[in-house]
Structures are given as structure tokens and as C-alpha cells.
Amino acid sequence: MAMTIQQNFCIAVAWVCFAGASLCHAQSVLSVQYPGGLPLAHSTGPSLSMGGAGTGVRNDFFGMADNVANLGGMNRAVFSAATSFDFLTVKEENAAATFFALSPRLFSFAFHISPVGTFGFSLDQRTSMRLKFVNDTTITLSDGTSVTDSIGFADQGGLSSWQAGWGRAIGRWAFVGVSYERMYLSSEDITLYGADLGGGMARYDSTHYLFRGNALRAGILVPVRKWMFGMSGEYVFAGDAERTVRSTMTTSNENTKFSLSLPPSLSFGASYAFSPSWMAAASPGITLWQSYRSPVKLGDHVDNALSFAAGLQYIPAPNLLVPRYWEIMQYRVGFRYGELPVVTGSEFAFTVGIGLPLLRGGGLIDCIAEYGSRSDSRFANHSENFLHLFIGINGGRKWSQNTGIRY
Amino acid sequence: MHNSKRYCLLTVPVFLCSMFFCSGLFDDSTNLGAAIIENIDSNRVTISKHIREYVMDHSAVVDSFSLPGVNDTGFGVHAATNGYMVVGRLGNEQAAGYVQFICPPDTASSRTFASNDNLRKIIVRFSRNITIDTNTLPCRIEVWSSNNRSRALYPNPASGDSLLDTMQFVKAPQDSNNTATIPDSIELLPGLANDIFKACTTSTRGSSAKIFGFIAANIDTGLIRLNGNPQLIVEYTRGSDTTNKRYQTYSSWYTSYYLATDGAPDSLRRIPALSYASKRTAVFQYDATTLWATINGMANSQHAQVISAVFPLKGPRDKDTIKVRYLLLSYLENNGADLDSLFAANPSLPGVITIINTSRVLANVHQSLQNFSQNGRPSALYLYVRFDEDLNQKWNQTVWQNVPLLSAMIAVP
């Protein structure tokens, strides 16, 4: 018994160390330009491993992340979760900095109630902003004394979405789905100035944004022979936002309430099953940042952002009755390119992934590596290269099954 | 045992991963991307121009002078509660002590005399040990009977002060340690003694307390430190018993002061002189227009914040450690009492610093300067410097030769 307590304690300490190590590092500098931060890929594991090209794919384990209409094709209870270990290297001329962060991305759950359809719930992180910038300079005053002039800038926040959706099949020729979203955007910008000649006090300014809003998503999937075509759209209603400014300059906080409109988005997708072993998918999309409205400055000037993703899936022997394990493993590659909310910024990434089936198709663990780069043409000497190691866990099971036998 | 291995297999990789992520391979912050951050909103964050220095030059120094103990209130008054009074002269400064004894009102039952008590004599004992600078001996102290005063003044016959006696101190043979056990008390003349005794007798004293004041002043050059608590001792007998002497002692613990003044000569007023005894305060006047012009020249100057501002104070003496108090105001405060209040009222505004020999110590004024920046940005600034404590017990006097010049760092968003 004593041994068990020690073991549990060791494990607890290890996980605390791990979480602490993972969550304390900074991320993209470019992200501070975009309202709410850097857009994140928020698909399930199988879709992530194909570059996120899941809008035109009908697959239980793609969940409702890429296309809510995917719910319509499910006839079992399905859950998916994905998290990412993010490694980022920021380069500027001859200098570089490397960061690590643990980023939970998505959790979704869906269950089928015949004949009503399938209901789904999900929580996903849409954008992320995390940066700690510190710059120290030693300057010599004209009276000969030296002082360290330092500025610290910290940004933290992001947009998360809670979603409840429903989907069902319309005959054999379409799947449709709709969902309601509750969105939360929070960001905190802190600036700290210091230059202490002796007994001085650093200047502290912080701005906190908070937005709560509602959104609707809708999607459709249409199978045509070996093709599957899909379309998914999202509209975010204008919502109440609040900005709170604090500073050592003033004793009272400046509080401003305003209306914020986040941009709608639209994506199309198509997939083609060459054979039971091979499947290809592609998905272009656009986020209409020109519809973004905010009376207070939140990030830089934004513009519509196009995106494109494509991927390929290969399963050596999906239908063998007694396959070897490697023959039912799912091998995927993908590519994605996307403009960032500021028109001069873009990013691309290549992905490779492997899906490890469990429980005779009832589960799937995805191990995915995504390597890419993002840049902004206005800052030619600045680049960010990233490696995302995703872990996706998916499971599905039928709670009840109509045998079709009448006695 | 099997479970134990399984736990180890799980725990060890997690620990290794933690160590990997905690290792120096990854950065916690960066200084890259300054242009990007600045590009977001240059009104909010400016990396390159966010802090501006201001270093005052001598052209901003308008005047330097000193303030004497004007109005005889506040300036130069030292309460004797720390155990001694200084009486005498040193250079252009002179000090006199004031002692006050209180006979309680009729409602009190202690320390009073009955109607059948007979006065023998009353003495005023200034101290049991008197520290004298032996170089000044012999010296003489005059003791005056004085009208009631709220603050000590020099004896003034026109105000009703009358000379009681003169105690003369001579250099004693055993006086090797500058400590003389010489006469330290004076017997009051019969007339005054009778008045005091009568006022303190039960049948004749009134319902209010009676106050008797005395002034001790040195008529020769030199300083005498009267240590201890001054006392008024009444020697009397009771009834028909004329052999047993009785004594009643009145203490002046909370009602004795000594006051030092330098006479406020114009020669001292024109220089930034400091004195511990007379609390002469050095004042430096600056033209602040260049400071505000520097701030106004910055972007978002209305949001500028003084984050650091110092006057480097260099000790004026080679060997002594001095402790000074400083205060930055936007106006000239001539009234000594008001200046005393400003020094004492808000301990966060003035500072106290200790300067060892001729070392350079920074007097921090960023909070005062930030207040001025936000409230009118006055065209003139006045730095007041005075001794806070006589660390060397030498009755410090000095002239501040080096005019301190302001250095400041101003931050804008």
C-alpha cells in the first residue's frame, strides 16, 4: 500500500513538472498582430494529418470540426480529442529563439439517436496568442552614469468555441448539419517599462479584452459516386466586448464597452476514394476579415484570408479479414497553405501522420508531425518555423443496434 | 513488484520529458520581433523611443541659497526628550535652553504643599552631568526666570524675563574626559521661590495648573550640553518639625527645549548652507522648462510617466558621515513652520539618505516629479536639503558646494 502511495506521488510530481514545463513558454511574435491571436488548426487527428482538408470528407473520426454535416453520417457514439506539442523557432537575421508550448486543441463528442439524427458537442481552441518580449539596453547618460533601459511586453489570450450541433442524412444523397456556438475571446496585453536610476518605479500598462458572442455553423456533404463534396460556413453574430485599461499612470481603470463583429468563414471541400485503400481530399476556404468590425484597435489592419489544404490517405489492406497490424494502419500526408489575417502574412505546412487503429476499428490514435513556416512580407528578416506534434485520440461505439429480426 | 515496474516505466519517461522541456533548450522570452510589436499600435507600444533621458545641466540652476530659522517657530527647536539640551555658542550660532515646570491644579492631590509647610529653598537642577567642550572653559550660564512660552526664546527683559543668577563653570582638575561634576543647579531668589511655593500650596493654589519657566543661556563662547532631565526641587519642612527636611521634585521631561539660531545674516542666506542646530536648510532653485520641453517633445507626451528621477548628492565633507533629508517642491516655502510640516507630514515625498564622506548618493524624487508632471508642470523646482540627524554629535554646519543636478527617465506608451 505504501508503495502505491509513493508511486502515485511520483507520477503526480512528474505530471506537474511536465505541465509546468509545457505551459510557461512563449510563442509566435507574429500572433500579436491578429485580433485574438494566431489562427489554429482545430480539426481532429485524421483531418490534421491531411492538412486539415476535411470539409469534403465523410468519416466518423473527422467529427464536426471541419464540417458539421459530418454528424449526419454517424450512426454511433464518437469522441475525438487532439492536443499539440508546439515547437517554434523565431529567426531574425542572425538571432533565433526557440519556444515550446503544450496546446490542447479540441475535444468533441457525438452520439446518434435514431431516427432523429446525431447530436454533437465540442470545445475547440480557435486562436492563440502567447508572447513574452523583453528587451534590455544599457545606455550611458550625458552625465556619465549608466542605466539599464528595459521594456517588457507580454500578450496572452485566444478564442475558444463551445459548440452544440445536430446532423442527419437526407436520404442517400446528402448529409446536413447545423450547430450553435458560444465563443469567448480573451486577451491581456501588458507593457512594462523600466529604467531605474535609483529608487524608481517601473511603468506598467495593461489592456484586457473580453468578448462573448454567438455563432451559427452549417454544412452539407453530398456523395456523388466516389466523390464527396462538402461545404461548411460559419457566421459570428456581433457581440458585446469590453476593454479594460490599467496603468501606473492612473489610479482608476478605464473601462470601455463596445460591439465586436468577428469574421464569418466559408470552406469548400472534395474528396475522392480511388479505392478502399486510397483517398484524396482538398479543401479551399476563406475567412472574411473584411467583415470584421471593432471600434477599438485590436491587432493590426486585417484583410480576407484564403486557405487551401490537401491530403492523401492510404490504408494497405482495409478489408482483409485477418490483416497484419501494419496493413490496417492509416498513413496520411497533407499540405496546407493559409493567408493570415493580415494580408501580408501567410503560413504553410506539411504534415505526415499515422493512425493506429484500436479495438477492431472502434478506436484510433493519431500521431502527426506538422512542419511549416509563417512569415510576413513586411518583416522580411523575420520568420517563424514550427513543428507541431499532434496526438489525437478517437473512439466510437454503437450503443444499440437494430438487428432487423422480428420474432 | 510487477506494478512497481509499470509505474517506473510510466514515470521515468514523463520525468525525462519534463527535464527536456525545462532545460535551457527553450527560451522563456525573446527580444526578437520588436518591429512587429511596434507595428501593432505605435501609440501603445514604442520599443525604440519608449524611454527618454533627461539630464539637467548647470544652465537650469537658477539660484542656490539657504533658509534660516524664521519666525522662531519650528526652526532650530530641539526637544530635550532625547536626554540633553545644548546651550552656548559656536561660530555664528547660539543656543538657549527653555525649561518649564508645572504645578498641578487644585483638583490633584499629589505634589502639593500643606498650609503648615514651611519653605526652605527651591533649586533648579539642570543636569547631573554636564558635558563641556573643555576648550571653551571657563564659561558662564545665565539662568532667567521667564514668562510662559510655547517655544523657547532668548531671555528678553521686555517680555518679563528676569535674570536669576549666573552659574560659572571652570575647568576642573578631574575633567580629563570632558565631563565635569561641577555645580549644576541654581537656587532661586527668595521672592520667586516664595511665589512658586505659595502657588503650589493647597490653600492658595487655584483650579488651574501653574507654570514656571526658566531660560538657560550661555554668555561666553563654547557649547555646554546639559544632560538629563531638568528638575525643580523644593526643600521644605512641615509644621513644628524644623529639623527634618522634605523635598518635592517637579520634572520638565516633556516641557524642555533648546533653540539654536544663527541670527540669519545675509551672508548665510546667499549660500546653500546647512546647519543641524539651527536647522538652516539649503535650497536649490531650478528652471524646469527644459525638462517639460523634453517630455512635450515625446510622442504621447500627455501619457508620459516619470519612472525614475534622482538628484545625485555628493557628501560635502571628507571624513564625516552625514544624514540629510530632502524635499522637492514647485514653490519657495519661506515659512519655517510650514516647511517643517512639509518635511514631516508626508514621509513618502521627502527622502532621508546617509552620505558617507564624499560619496555620491542618489536622492530619489521620481514620485514628486511625476506629480508635477501630471499637475501643471511648474516652471520652477526647488530642492530643499537639511540635516536630518547629527550623526557625529558635532553640531554640523556645512555649505553645499556641489549643486545637485537632476537626472530623469521618462516613459511613454
Q: Dump pLDDT digits (tens) for B224-283.
A: 777 777 788 889 998 888 888 888 888 875 667 777 777 777 788 888 988 888 888 899
**Distance between CA atoms of A174 and B18, rounded to whole angstroms?**
48
Q: What is the pLDDT of residue B343?
A: 80
* Contact: B29, A133; criterion CB under 8 Å: yes
What is the DSSP pairing of strand B273-275 with strand B397-399? antiparallel
Spatial CB neighbours of A234, under 8 Å, sequence gap ≥ 6: A181, A215, A216, A217, A264, A265, A266
Segments of chain B scoring below 70 in pLDDT: 1-24, 41-49, 69-77, 79-83, 105-112, 126-141, 145-185, 202-209, 219, 253-255, 318, 345-351, 356-358, 391-394
Enumerate the domain spans of chain B: 51-69+264-411, 77-261
Element holding B69 (H helix, E strand): none
According to DSSP, residue B318 is labeled S
Residues of B in contact with A153 (CB under 8 A): 37, 45
**Distance between CA atoms of B250 and B260, rounded to whole angstroms?**
25
**Distance between CA atoms of A9 and A3, rounded to whole angstroms?**
10
ipTM over 0.90: no
From the CA of A335, how many Å to the nearest CA of chain B?
Answer: 27
What is the DSSP pairing of strand A38-39 with strand A254-260? unpaired
Q: Which member of B19, B351, B407 has the closest CB to residue A145?
A: B407
Q: Does B408 contact chain A (CB < 8 Å)?
A: yes
R_g over Cα of chain A: 24
Give the Cβ contact number of residue B353 at 10 Å: 19
Residues of A in contact with B14 (CB under 8 A): 11, 14-15, 17-18
From the CA of B12, how many Å to the nearest CA of chain A?
Answer: 8
| Residue A255 backbone dihedrals phi, psi, to 5 degrees | -115, 125
Q: Can you list the alpha helix ranges (DSSP code H) found in B84-201?
A: 190-199
Q: What is the pLDDT of residue B1?
A: 46
Q: Which residues pair with A349 in a beta bridge?
A: A336, A372
Q: Which member of B32, B40, B308 has the closest CB to residue A200?
A: B308
Q: Chain B neighbours among A 132-171 (CB < 8 Å)?
A: 132-136, 139, 141-143, 145, 147, 149, 151-153
Q: Which residues pair with B125 in a beta bridge?
A: B185, B231
Q: Chain A neighbours among B 321-380 (CB < 8 Å)?
A: 351, 362, 364, 366-367, 374
Task: Please state whether the predicted TM-score (pTM) of the whole model is above 0.80.
Answer: no
Q: Does A257 contact chain B (CB < 8 Å)?
A: no
Q: Compute, in degrees rounded to 10, the torsion defined by CA atoms A73, A77, A78, A79.
A: 140
Q: Which residues pair with A154 in a beta bridge?
A: A132, A190
Spatial CB neighbours of B108, under 8 Å, sequence gap ≥ 6: none
Q: Chain A neighbours among B 194-213 (CB < 8 Å)?
A: none
* Contact: B45, A191; criterion CB under 8 Å: yes
Q: What is the pLDDT of residue A247?
A: 83
Distances (CA, A) of B189 to B124, B143, B193: 11, 12, 6
* Contact: B31, A17; criterion CB under 8 Å: no
Residues of B in contact with A132 (CB under 8 A): 28-30
Element holding B369 (H helix, E strand): helix B366-374
Segments of chain A scoring below 50 in pLDDT: 1-4, 7, 10-11, 14-15, 17-26
Q: Which member of B36, B53, B364 has the closest CB to residue A139?
A: B53
Q: What is the pLDDT of residue B359?
A: 72
From the CA of A198, how many Å to the nearest CA of chain B?
Answer: 6
* Contact: A21, B22; criterion CB under 8 Å: yes
Q: How does pLDDT run across A304-333, given as a tens digit for each residue?
A: 999 999 999 999 988 887 788 888 899 999
Spatial CB neighbours of B348, under 8 Å, sequence gap ≥ 6: B367
Element holding B300 (H helix, E strand): none
According to DSSP, residue A30 is labeled G
**Closest C-alpha to A186, from A234, A236, A131, A241:** A241
Residues of A in contact with B11 (CB under 8 A): 7, 10-11, 14
Residues of B in contact with A4 (CB under 8 A): 3
Residue of B nearest to A134 (CA): B31
How is residue A69 written as a grid cell? 454535416
Domains plus CATH for chain A?
Answer: 2-397 (2.40.160.60)
Residue of A nearest to B24 (CA): A98
* Contact: B7, A26; criterion CB under 8 Å: no
Q: What is the pLDDT of residue B82?
A: 62
Q: Does A86 contact chain B (CB < 8 Å)?
A: no
Q: Which member of A25, A147, A248 has the closest CB to residue B409?
A: A147
Q: What is the pLDDT of residue A44?
A: 92
